Chains A and B, each alone.
Chain A
Amino acid sequence: MRPTLAPGDYVVVNRWAYRFRRPAAGDVVVVRNPEAPERFLVKRIFDVTRSRIEVVGDNEGRSRDSRTFGPIPLEKVVGKVWIRLRR
Chain B
Amino acid sequence: MSLLYSLARLLDRISPAPIAYAHCDIPCGIYDPHHSQLAAHTVVRMNDLINQLEKPGASATPEQRQEYTNKLARYLATKEQHAELAKNEIRILWGDYFKPEHLKTFPELHDLVWKALKTASKARQEINLQAAEDLLKATNDIASIFWKTKGFETTTAKAPYPTERQTVYPKYK
Contact = CB atoms under 8 A, between A and B. Distances in A.
Interface of A: 1-2, 5, 7, 10-11, 13, 30, 33, 35-36, 39-43, 57, 59, 62-64, 68, 85-87
Contacts of A41: 20-22, 24
A85 B24 contact: no
B21 to A, nearest CB: 6
Interface residues on B, range: 10 to 19
Contacts of A30: 20
Contacts, number: 50
A13 B22 CA distance: 15
Contacts of B17: 10
Contacts of B2: 85-86
Given A33-B21, A57-B22, A64-B25, 8 more contacts: A2-B22, A10-B12, A40-B18, A42-B20, A59-B22, A63-B22, A85-B2, A86-B5
Contacts of B23: 57, 62-64
B1 interface: yes
Secondary structure call for the A interface: loop
Nearest to A43: B22
B79 to A, nearest CB: 25
B112 interface: no
A41 B24 CA distance: 7
13 contacts: A5-B22, A10-B17, A11-B20, A13-B20, A35-B24, A40-B19, A42-B20, A57-B23, A62-B23, A68-B95, A85-B2, A85-B4, A87-B1
Interface-centre pick from A11, A41, A68, A85 (highest chain B CB count, 10 A): A85
